[in-house]
Structure 1
């Protein structure tokens, strides 16, 4: 088992919950984390994330679990294509009616995606920030990307456009569809404050 040299913890500020991650960011990112929340249902998730040296995601493995159900998701990117596999035990829809299926039917829709965004995970906001060097970019720099948004607790995967605009004082304005938030970063690009979501412990 790999021992990772760094650790971060975030406390949820919108609900009962939190996220803890160990990581190695010396050459790209290798991170292992656990999160729990009591928002749309009571659940916990475990994940392992790998990027290449340039911080583009190459693999994400996630399990989410609650009372009477468990789902798993594995996403791998190689030669510009994503492979998405899923598993399920129990019945999430019994406790969360209308929950979408895990994964996605057409992974080819992710052909432009280099970043994953795990639902309500402050860690995954760092991926495009580091990949694009936004933590060191001049204020006013703005970039729009397409990310693979992994919903929790369902583990459904959706391609979404996300815009990051660099502001003064180690902040970025994050926008996606009708949502906007000004996120505070440390000097390495990790989230320290995500308004109405989480704060670095």
Structure 2
């Protein structure tokens, strides 16, 4: 993997590092750590087509006394979702005063049929996928794209369809919106997140 990016979380104690190759679409593997709602570590592997449509994402999340995995694979216009689980995440959440997590994966993959992108919650890398796939860098400002993504929620790895809107704001900036939430994200020349207000900032080597 010829490139490495590191982000520090700004919404909670945590970080993300990803190793990637974007010479022909994107191949990436990364690690996220966070303490909210309980301490957890997640590892992922991501593969796209040459035009940046996601074909496979594998995520493993782990904390004290539990481990979950989910794999999403897209072929012939449909998503296949498989899961595995060890231990009891819900017991850890309840013991820390939080509500239970949803089951990993989804009971109806057809709900994800319109999704060409996967979004892993808390990961700035995954915002790059629609930016590249939609070729937003070549567009004029204020062009809005309404898309559906397969949203993987951490740490429980529940997968749900989510509607998102990406709007270019000029070179190096895009507005992300989902429901009532909006954020103006700063990007580098390659379309990777430099600053995501309220979530993360990139840390570059000195």
Match of 1:185 among 159, 184, 187: 187
Coordinate RMSD, CA, aligned:
0.8
Of 135, 139, 147, which aligns to 2:141?
139
Give me the whole-angstrom Cα distance separating, in 2, the residues matched to 1:163 and 1:153.
24
Choose from 106, 111, 114 the match for 1:112.
114
C-alpha contact 1:135 1:188 (8 A) present in aligned 2: no
TM-score under structure 2 normalisation?
Answer: 0.94
1:89 aligns with 2:81: no
Structure 1 residue 136, shift from structure 2 partner: 2.8
Decide whether the 8 Å contact of 1:183 with 1:194 is kept in 2.
yes
Find out whether 1:73 has 2:75 as its counterpart.
Answer: no
Alignment correspondent of 1:163:
165
Tell me the distance in 2 between the aligned counterparts of 1:96 and 1:142. Answer: 38
Runs of 4+ that moved beyond 3 A: none
Preserved contact between residue 113 and residue 148 of structure 1 (Cα < 8 Å): yes
- Give the distance between the partners of 2:6 and 2:133, measured in 1 at CA: 22
Superposition TM-score, scaled by structure 1 size: 0.97
What does the per-residue CA deviation read over 1:103-140, in whole Å, with 9 as the maximum and x for residues that have no partner? 00000111111000000100000000000011232111
Report the secondary structure of 2:183's partner residue: strand
The count of corresponding residues between Structure 1 and Structure 2 is 198
> Mind listing any 5+ residue stretches in structure 2 that lack a counterpart?
95-99
Q: How far off its partner does 1:169 sit?
A: 4.0
Preserved CA contact (<8 Å) 2:176 2:184 = yes
Of 127, 141, 161, the residue aligned with 2:129 is: 127
SS at match of 1:96: helix
Cα distance in 1, alignment partners of residues 125 and 116 from structure 2: 15
Equivalent residue, structure 1, for 2:97: none
Contact 1:135-1:185 at 8 Å conserved across structures? no
Q: Name stretches of at least 5 consecutive residues in structure 1 with no aligned partner.
A: none
